[in-house]
Structure 1
Amino acid sequence: MNKKEAEKFVTETFQNSYDDDRYLRFIKELLNGERLQYGSLDYKHPPSSYKDYISEYRIFGLYHAPHSKRILFVAVKLSKSKSLDRARVMQRNFAAEILRGKISKAYNANAALIAFYGDEKEDWRLSFVTLDTELVCGDRGLCVSETLSPAKRFSYLVGVHEPCHTCMKRFCPLIEDEKNQLTVDQLLDVFHVEKVSDEFFKEYKKCYLHLTRSLQDVVDHDIAVKTEFENKNLVVADFTKKLLGQIVFLYFLQKKGWLGVKRDENWGSGPKDFMQQLFQKKIVPYDNFFDDILEPLFYEALARKNDYDYYSRFNVRIPFLNGGLFEAEYDWVHTNIVIENSVFEKIFETFDRYNFTVKEDEPLEKEVAVDPEMLGKVFERLLEEDARKSNGAVYTPRFIVHYICQQSLIEYLERHTDIPRNDIEFFIQKGDELYAKTLQKVIDAESGRENKSADGLPESIVSHALEIDTLLRDIKIADPAVGSGAFPVGMMNEIVKARTALTPRLNRGDESRTAYNLKRQTIENSIYGVDLDPSAVDISKLRFWLSLIVDEVNPKEIRPLPNLDHKIVAGNSLLESFQGIKLFDDEILSPELDSAAEEVAEIDNELKRLREERDALLWGTESARSLWLTDEINRLENRKARILKDEPQKQILQTLSPVKVERFKTSRKGLKKYRILQNQFFNEQDKEKKAELRKEIERQEWEIILSEAENSGNPKIVKELETLKGKKGKPFFLWKLYFSEVFTRENPGFDCVIGNPPYVQIEGMNNAIKESYANENYSTFTKKGDIYCLFYELGNRLIRNHGTLCFITSNKWMRAGYGKKLRNFFIQNVNPLLLVDFSGQSVFDEATVDVNILLFEKAQNQLQTAACLIKEDCRDNLSEYIQQKQTVKSFNTDESWVLVSGMMANIKQKVEEAGVPLKDWDVSINYGIKTGYNDAFIISKEKRDEILSSCLTEEERERTAELIRPILRGKDIKKYGCAHSRYLITIPCGFTNSLREGMDPETYIKSTYSAIYSHFMKVHDEYLVKQSKKKSKGLLNRDDMGEYWWELRSCAYMEDFSKQKIMYPNMTSYLPFYLDTCAYMQNDKSFMITGKHLSYLIAFLNSSLFKYCFIDNFPSLGEKGRELRKIFFDKIPVKQVDDKTDELFGKYI
């Protein structure tokens, strides 16, 4: 087929109702005439365990693909199921049974292309299901058995109501190529999820830019709109982001059939192209789509509770959603924002080309469609380049989110139970597989069928099911730089997955434990997030709402969404003060008891309970739980001793000033009321009551804040704070006020802090914010540092005793000088549990930064850190890779933290033990010349010849030639060699005054070195012409100069350039070292080593052994580069030799 014929054929196949003949023809074209084996003309009924989910199936045949792979082609007719989640699992289980040969041994295969359809064949699903074999190896590395991994399904949503753009684009090349022999890898590529995401993001950005320009034009030319935007602090870019987010949200809703439902029909029956019908005026006429249609849809239909959800303007049912996404931030009724209709035409034209799915990808279930997670990528990519640099926002890929969330839960459960760690790891990491097996057993039991197969749950998990479920229900998790919400959404999914797997073991008759209810409970009880960018907060909330919508399956009633204003909040996580004034006193959180006796009685009751629990444990067992119980008992006994020794708290308060006592009492009462109001607000649906609650919550919040500020005695600060009222984000965030319920419980703080904090160099920030961070008492603060260092320290402040933090950040702190304070902080204050260094492996799509994952516990450092250096792409098996490759390290020094693996660690240890750090050798390491203005001082051979030929006399020519010396730049240095091409005008500091003998300095240079002086003036004139485009201060006013502008800065080791020396670049990808005997100068992009035994030393530095052992001692730059600064080189241990050995090496160098 040619391209046009292929496109028509694929479109006819996938944009129509399912049809056996059409599907069979598609299979034949895909296989280019290759014959199928064991095909069946008839449909068959599935095993009885699947009858509630699968009506019948047909196997079209088996294809023998290249590389000894077998592919089945199948059609499956589905039964109606109340639970989408159950249906997905059972469909996957059924496909797995076919592939494993359990239906018929003849059909045993590696993969299957399956058409899933229902009674109404208009919309169906084309799935590619794969089954991989995992080898199980014994102690000696021999493979002793093999197991089948759980089935993975990749799907396209196709049919009458689905766009065919992506499906057609992927399958057409295979249909066109009549000589192609279909492979499993080709089909995997056709179903590749990330490709459709990348394509959609580019189109989305075009829509965003077009909409932004159009809206900006409206604001610029309409005085009323401009005034409204200014009065309500609206920003065009943020308005556009939210508007596009609202439209995307509606695309997800129409995907569920919730928009445009007829008056007497159930939810789910609405047209799947409702937004397009609105735009094409098929529902109601209009003049301007945004002003006449979208605004009423947003702020009347979706934001208000109408009778029977009927919206008379459109004569259809529209669900009341609640939550805040469709609450107007401006007076939309009296402000006419007339955005061109053509802008929305382009948006709908773009969106209509893609499939939308409300279900986010999971490891075993992926849809080739736009899902809610893409909102995170869109947010990160839409940031302007300058904003991205200042905010440091980097989107975190799914496999990292999965890993960090799972590891955090594993550590949490291990610290609170006696369950073996291996069982906890299996339970959390294999949740999808366990749920599928457990669900199969439950369904069989409900149908009265016997199922003797194991569900895979370890006995320790089964026997502690209630305890685990309670712990997962009560966990408190925070992301202090929430971004697009990837981590908290990921954590919610992991918790729900784990609790769902436990459900059959708890109460099989409990119908309240639905995915929707478990998600909502997790959001309300466990999730907290903060971000500096209000747009990020909006995106995060949007993803949580979408995650609830996917599991709302009641056709009669759609439950309104929760209000997340006090769960995901805008503010500066790192600051709890404003212009140096602390805004919340932690003493306010202290419990207010009537007497010391009452508190002692409470402590005694708690001690009795804890001792009984500890005594019930197996004697002599030092489990995590028993150790924690012992710690708690000791803490409470110490607390009791202090109370009995000291005055009761109320009497202590009375020793303070009456004003402060009264302020504390008022603030405590306000805080209690504040928490009650927050809880009420989460579920409130009534618009007027929500407005009242919001107003009262803000009033209580500001009463507490202003009370503290007024106590500072600075009325100017109070006045400035007043101006922040009502604004979306604040330049501070008061963790213990806004999330006070976390900090008023026993052992206050979060159980887990997770995330990907921003990477922004503090040095480049404005002075005001820099000073604010400096005054916040962060021990890790350094002006040369990065802001993520402060987030590590903040996270430790936020977690409770024995809580954990897990971040992915830049790995520069491990070796860089600015990381010394952070490394020392870790050694002194936390217990690092796991450190994973990706060491040049690319993790982020949109950033080239090298990263690490660090997991630590708030506890005494045990100096036993599991460490793993990742040298290859392992995104598909990250957990297994780290588990197999990790070694235990005791990071007990604030010097560079370097990770090596396996055999390399042993070799490196031997080399280090035999060596002496270079700083203790009889050598000096210095960087090259800093000219301050290379355009003037570093010249080409042609410029050197021109200057010499311009000299007025032969004597001047000789004098000038002495000052122009050959120079090597970092990039000119090679292994045992160099590529010289430049020269340095070397007028050292003090040169002029040592020779001028009373003559005016500039007159002396101008007359004695006229050609050099003329060259300098010419460079200066060129600078004056281009200075508007240059940020430098120029030749005459530069910072790095000697006593006069024509001199180089003072250099204490200037004579060393004339000595024999080892030269090497400061940044390189292959570590070259050159032994210079020609007295080359060198620039500041390189270093030199002078001193004794250089022949031996350069042989070692250029050796494979040096590179093998020490390349990871130097920070990564990009994918392959390394930074060879002196602070890293000083610490390299090298075996010392005597003069005779050095002479021997000298003969061969």
Structure 2
Amino acid sequence: MEYTHFNLKDFEKFVRNDIKEDDNNLIALFKILSPQHLLKLPFINDSNTLDKSFYNELLHIIGLVETKDGGKRLIERNKPAQRNSGSLLEDTIIQLDTLDKVNRVKKSFLYGETTDEKLFNIALELNITWINRVLFLKLLEGQLINYHGGDKSYAFLNFYKLRQYDDLNTLFFQVLAKKFEDRNSDVRKAFEKVPYLNSSLFEPTELEHTTLMMSNLRDDKKIPLLGNTVLKDGQGKKRTGELNTLQYLFEFLDAYDFASEGTEEIQEENKTIINASVLGLIFEKINGYKDGSFYTPGSITMYMSREVLRKAVIEKFNSLKDWNCQDFTQLYNKIEDVKEANEIVNSVKICDPAVGSGHFLVSVLNEMISIKNDLGILADKNGKKFKDYNVEVESDEIVITDTNTSKLFRYNPKNQESQRVQETLFHEKQTIIENCLFGVDLNPNSVKICRLRLWIELLKNAYYKSET
């Protein structure tokens, strides 16, 4: 019989001393004795599990509700009696209707047959675009604070800095879309620590140009807090009453942890982790509101990526080099030219014909980096290999450990070696995303979500200081 053996006395010193740093040694013990492990239940912060509390409250702020139709779960507009004009969706619909914007939309028939259908679908597409940006920025803010040792001065997505929808619009198009030297003096001072992002996510969409910008929404609107809100008062009880919609959105997001990626470390603040995978599932469901949405679990996409890609890479090398390798060990022993081997791996093309939120392509991206590590060809811009690191994919995330110390890699902006690892991962991801990954979907909004997911994967390693 297989069994696990440990002595509880070996952990006594970690419990009784006052050294916080060694408390991480208790995590494995906690997990193996937890109900989740003993009863085979999912862990709360499983990155491949939809966080229902986050999802339901986000829908509430937007003005949507999930309903059941037979075996399907559909996303719909609230019933007339439950609608609140302060929700993002209802405020958008009111502005579209008041300004007669629907008739200005090209091919408006694509958004529905009746005026109500068109108003709802146009408003929802605008809301998804705006929420996409906000959630991407929340992840960026979390990364900035994390990279600077918890320095809260890098927080910029809050009601103190952004008190109106127009302020948020300014952040989108006058700050993130412009290099620091090109920003006007007002925003340069207000957002001095917000980086430039060369991304089409922060360029106005054609629908925005034709209809509304987020700045058109009413700043004075309020909505009631969700009965099961995550927000707490000073005594730790759930808050009640109403709140300004924009303020509610920011405080709601701030109640979650967007900086962590579910790595094994103790969270001092008891905040649920929301990462790219969770956001992808949420928006896949919102986009699939008409037909019900079904997503492939991360464990499946990881398995598919590993099995298919590794065979494809071996076949590619055998074909181009006239080799007869049967596995990665034989392939590893054959490779001599690292640059040529990278070019061969990068020539593998992967297309998902029903891409959805891009979950499968994210798994492929992570697996390709793991493959390069296993083949000994993962190297920086100067050709220096990653000999001292082990790169694996766990829970649909790239996990890097130091082979000498067995410690997880943590980006340190003051450490040159840490800079090298971060920069290399960024450029490897960029190369793979630009050259190897392709996705198609009948729903154009799904393609936008997929693009956002891949941008977020790039964002995880985008912050580094290059010496050149």
**Smaller-chain TM-score bracket:** 0.5 to 0.7
Matched, 1:527 2:437: yes
Report deviation, 1:250. 1.3
Match 1:372 to one of 270, 276, 280: 276
Match 1:185 to one of 20, 31, 34: 34
Alignment correspondent of 1:401 = 301
Matched, 1:388 2:291: yes
Structure 1 residues 258 and 306: CA distance shift in structure 2, 3 A: farther
Matched, 1:410 2:310: yes
Match 2:24 to one of 114, 120, 124: 114
Task: Measure, in 1, the Cα distance between the counterparts of 2:20 and 2:149.
Answer: 28
Structure 1 residues 542 and 477: CA distance shift in structure 2, 3 A: same
Question: How many residues of Structure 1 are paired with residues of Structure 2 in the alignment?
Answer: 348
Q: Give the conservation status (yes or no) of the 8 Å contact 1:193–1:369.
A: yes
Q: Give the conservation status (yes or no) of the 8 Å contact 2:335–2:341.
A: yes
Matched, 1:315 2:190: yes
The DSSP-based 3-state class of the residue aligned with 2:440 is strand
Alignment correspondent of 1:462 = 333
1:861-940 superposed matches below 5 A: none
Structure 1 residues 74 and 459: CA distance shift in structure 2, 3 A: farther
Matched, 1:492 2:365: yes
1:687-698 superposed matches below 5 A: none
Structure 1 residues 322 and 225: CA distance shift in structure 2, 3 A: farther
The DSSP-based 3-state class of the residue aligned with 2:24 is strand
Identity over aligned residues, as a percent?
A: 22
1:92-103 superposed matches below 5 A: none
Per-residue CA shift, 1:120-164, capped at 9, x if unaligned? xxxxxxx7237xxxxxxxxxxxxxxxxxxxxxx98xxxxxxxxxx
Task: Measure, in 1, the Cα distance between the counterparts of 2:214 and 2:297.
Answer: 43
Task: Measure, in 1, the Cα distance between the counterparts of 2:284 and 2:139.
Answer: 21
Per-residue CA shift, 1:811-846, capped at 9, x if unaligned? xxxxxxxxxxxxxxxxxxxxxxxxxxxxxxxxxxxx
Task: Measure, in 1, the Cα distance between the counterparts of 2:374 and 2:186.
Answer: 44
Q: Give the conservation status (yes or no) of the 8 Å contact 1:358–1:547.
A: no
Match 2:21 to one of 76, 85, 94: 76
Report deviation, 1:505. 7.7
Match 2:352 to one of 474, 479, 489: 479
Report deviation, 1:209. 2.2
1:299-698 superposed matches below 5 A: 299-307=173-181, 312-313=186-187, 315-317=190-192, 318-329=194-205, 330-331=208-209, 336-338=216-218, 340=221, 342-357=244-259, 359=261, 369-383=273-287, 387-389=290-292, 393-416=293-316, 417=318, 418=323, 420-421=325-326, 423-424=327-328, 458=329, 460-464=331-335, 466=338, 468-503=341-376, 507-508=383-384, 514-555=424-465
Report deviation, 1:348. 2.5
The DSSP-based 3-state class of the residue aligned with 2:301 is helix
Task: Measure, in 2, the Cα distance between the counterparts of 1:532 and 1:309.
Answer: 38
Q: Give the conservation status (yes or no) of the 8 Å contact 2:342–2:377.
A: no
Alignment correspondent of 1:446 = none
1:50-65 superposed matches below 5 A: 59-60=14-15
Structure 1 residues 459 and 187: CA distance shift in structure 2, 3 A: same
Structure 1 residues 383 and 547: CA distance shift in structure 2, 3 A: closer
The DSSP-based 3-state class of the residue aligned with 2:195 is coil
Structure 1 residues 377 and 411: CA distance shift in structure 2, 3 A: same
Task: Measure, in 2, the Cα distance between the counterparts of 1:335 and 1:257.
Answer: 26
Matched, 1:128 2:4: no
Report deviation, 1:197. 2.3
The one-letter code sitting in structure 2 at the alignment partner of 1:498 is I
Task: Measure, in 2, the Cα distance between the counterparts of 1:204 and 1:419.
Answer: 53
Alignment correspondent of 1:240 = 127
Matched, 1:275 2:185: no
Q: Give the conservation status (yes or no) of the 8 Å contact 2:356–2:446.
A: yes
Q: Give the conservation status (yes or no) of the 8 Å contact 2:142–2:258.
A: yes
Task: Measure, in 1, the Cα distance between the counterparts of 2:127 and 2:324.
Answer: 50
Task: Measure, in 2, the Cα distance between the counterparts of 1:505 and 1:353.
Answer: 37
The DSSP-based 3-state class of the residue aligned with 2:51 is helix
> TM-score, normalization: structure 1?
0.27
In our comparison, the structure showing a higher alpha carbon Rg is: 1
1:1053-1072 superposed matches below 5 A: none
Q: Give the conservation status (yes or no) of the 8 Å contact 1:480–1:531.
A: yes
Alignment correspondent of 1:927 = none
Report deviation, 1:536. 0.9
Report deviation, 1:312. 2.4
Task: Measure, in 2, the Cα distance between the counterparts of 1:538 and 1:205.
Answer: 19
The one-letter code sitting in structure 1 at the alignment partner of 2:312 is Y
Report deviation, 1:275. 1.8
Q: Give the conservation status (yes or no) of the 8 Å contact 2:63–2:88.
A: no
The one-letter code sitting in structure 2 at the alignment partner of 1:76 is E
Match 1:208 to one of 62, 70, 75: 62
Task: Measure, in 2, the Cα distance between the counterparts of 1:198 and 1:216.
Answer: 20
Report deviation, 1:309. 6.7
Alignment correspondent of 2:112 = none
The DSSP-based 3-state class of the residue aligned with 1:528 is strand
Q: Give the conservation status (yes or no) of the 8 Å contact 1:484–1:540.
A: yes
Task: Measure, in 2, the Cα distance between the counterparts of 1:275 and 1:529.
Answer: 31
Report deviation, 1:219. 4.6
The DSSP-based 3-state class of the residue aligned with 1:275 is coil
RMSD: 4.2
Q: Give the conservation status (yes or no) of the 8 Å contact 1:252–1:358.
A: no
Alignment correspondent of 2:104 = 231
Structure 1 residues 221 and 461: CA distance shift in structure 2, 3 A: closer
Task: Measure, in 2, the Cα distance between the counterparts of 1:522 and 1:210.
Answer: 36
Structure 1 residues 196 and 411: CA distance shift in structure 2, 3 A: closer
Per-residue CA shift, 1:425-455, capped at 9, x if unaligned? xxxxxxxxxxxxxxxxxxxxxxxxxxxxxxx
The DSSP-based 3-state class of the residue aligned with 1:257 is helix
Report deviation, 1:225. 6.4
Task: Measure, in 1, the Cα distance between the counterparts of 2:274 and 2:61.
Answer: 16
The one-letter code sitting in structure 2 at the alignment partner of 1:527 is L
Per-residue CA shift, 1:564-618, capped at 9, x if unaligned? xxxxxxxxxxxxxxxxxxxxxxxxxxxxxxxxxxxxxxxxxxxxxxxxxxxxxxx
The one-letter code sitting in structure 1 at the alignment partner of 2:307 is Q
Task: Measure, in 1, the Cα distance between the counterparts of 2:375 and 2:346.
Answer: 12
The DSSP-based 3-state class of the residue aligned with 1:519 is helix
The one-letter code sitting in structure 2 at the alignment partner of 1:463 is K
Report deviation, 1:519. 0.3
Ranked by relative contact order (alpha carbons within 8 Å, sequence separation 6 or more), the top structure is 2
Task: Measure, in 2, the Cα distance between the counterparts of 1:310 and 1:129.
Answer: 51
The one-letter code sitting in structure 2 at the alignment partner of 1:129 is A
Report deviation, 1:495. 0.5
Task: Measure, in 2, the Cα distance between the counterparts of 1:538 and 1:525.
Answer: 18
Q: Give the conservation status (yes or no) of the 8 Å contact 1:474–1:526.
A: yes
Task: Measure, in 1, the Cα distance between the counterparts of 2:24 and 2:149.
Answer: 29
Query: Which ranges in structure 1 are unaligned for 5 or more consecutive residues?
Result: 1-34, 41-58, 63-72, 78-112, 116-126, 131-152, 155-182, 425-457, 560-1149
Match 1:294 to one of 161, 168, 188: 168
Report deviation, 1:322. 1.9
Per-residue CA shift, 1:173-227, capped at 9, x if unaligned? xxxxxxxxxx712475695324772332222222232697634544554468644
Q: Give the conservation status (yes or no) of the 8 Å contact 1:483–1:531.
A: yes
The DSSP-based 3-state class of the residue aligned with 2:285 is helix
Alignment correspondent of 1:1085 = none
Q: Give the conservation status (yes or no) of the 8 Å contact 1:254–1:270.
A: no
Q: Give the conservation status (yes or no) of the 8 Å contact 2:62–2:127.
A: yes
1:247-262 superposed matches below 5 A: 247-257=134-144
Q: Give the conservation status (yes or no) of the 8 Å contact 1:516–1:552.
A: yes
Structure 1 residues 419 and 231: CA distance shift in structure 2, 3 A: farther
The one-letter code sitting in structure 2 at the alignment partner of 1:508 is K
